[in-house]
Amino acid sequence: MKGIRQVDRCKFFFFLALLLLIACARPPKNTYIDPNMDFGTLKSVAVLPFLSLAKDPIVADRVRDVFINRLLATGAVYVVPVGEVARGITRIEAQNPSVLSPEEAVKLGGIIKVEAVISGTVREYGEVRSGATSANIISISLQMIETQTGKVVWADSSTRGGVSIWDRLFGGGGKPMNRVTEEAVNDLINRLLK
């Protein structure tokens, strides 16, 4: 009888230690910020069409819309409407509207009167499986280019969702895709506006 209680106690303390380890783990810092950039001078930005590396290319537009709406909701900067950005990209005759060269970013900034352009890549979007469990995941990378110099002044990425330990232990399908997307976008915006 004592042996069984001792084993249960060991399992309890092991489980408790595992939970503490998971709770204290911090993701690696992956933010680049140009130390010479004064982000307080940004009044307006343009968000370029996002590039999609996911299976479904339309997800780039979905994620871009969520990003624009969340950024506008902060009230920190004015985001130029998507149509104005598209007209500006057409006028500069950009080879790839999702990835501008420094010269193209400077030209676009002059045409649509923005201090910075933000480009993005959706690296992963959709359902992932681990054994019998599945969950939604998103991985986004963003960068901001100052239109006066054409330099990258901020870059960051965020991954949210995926199969968690709780999903593996107790089943479940993780969070809905729209919630996972909003969490990743909010994460990036919070780090941008710090």
Task: Name which residue leads in pLDDT, 180 or 166.
Answer: 180
Give the total number of structural domains in the chain. 1
Which percentage of the chain shows pLDDT scores above 70? 79
The residue segments making up the domain with residue 84 are 28-192
pLDDT reading at 160 higher than 50: yes
CA distance 111 to 170: 54
pLDDT score of 165: 64
pLDDT score of 111: 97
Q: In this structure, is residue 4 part of a structural domain?
A: no
Q: In this structure, is residue 2 part of a structural domain?
A: no
Give every CB contact of residue 120 below 8 A, 6+ residues apart in sequence. 47, 48, 50, 51, 60, 63, 64, 67, 140, 141, 142, 143
Strongest mean pLDDT among 9-23, 40-54, 132-146, 151-165: 40-54
Give me the CATH number covering residue 32.
Answer: 3.40.50.10610
pLDDT reading at 141 higher than 90: yes
pLDDT tens digits, 42-79: 999 999 999 999 988 899 999 999 999 999 999 999 99
Q: In this structure, is residue 5 part of a structural domain?
A: no
Least confident of 80-89, 90-99, 131-140: 131-140
Q: In this structure, is residue 77 part of a structural domain?
A: yes
Q: In this structure, is residue 1 part of a structural domain?
A: no
Residue 88's pLDDT band (boundaries 50, 70, 90)? very high
Q: In this structure, is residue 15 part of a structural domain?
A: no
Q: In this structure, is residue 8 part of a structural domain?
A: no
- This prediction has a pTM of 0.80
Task: Name which residue leads in pLDDT, 173 or 45.
Answer: 45
Give every CB contact of residue 122 below 8 A, 6+ residues apart in sequence. 50, 51, 52, 53, 54, 59, 60, 63, 138, 139, 140
Q: In this structure, is residue 19 part of a structural domain?
A: no
pLDDT score of 119: 98
Burial 86-107 (b: 16+ CB within 10 A, else e): eebbeebebeebbebeeebbbb
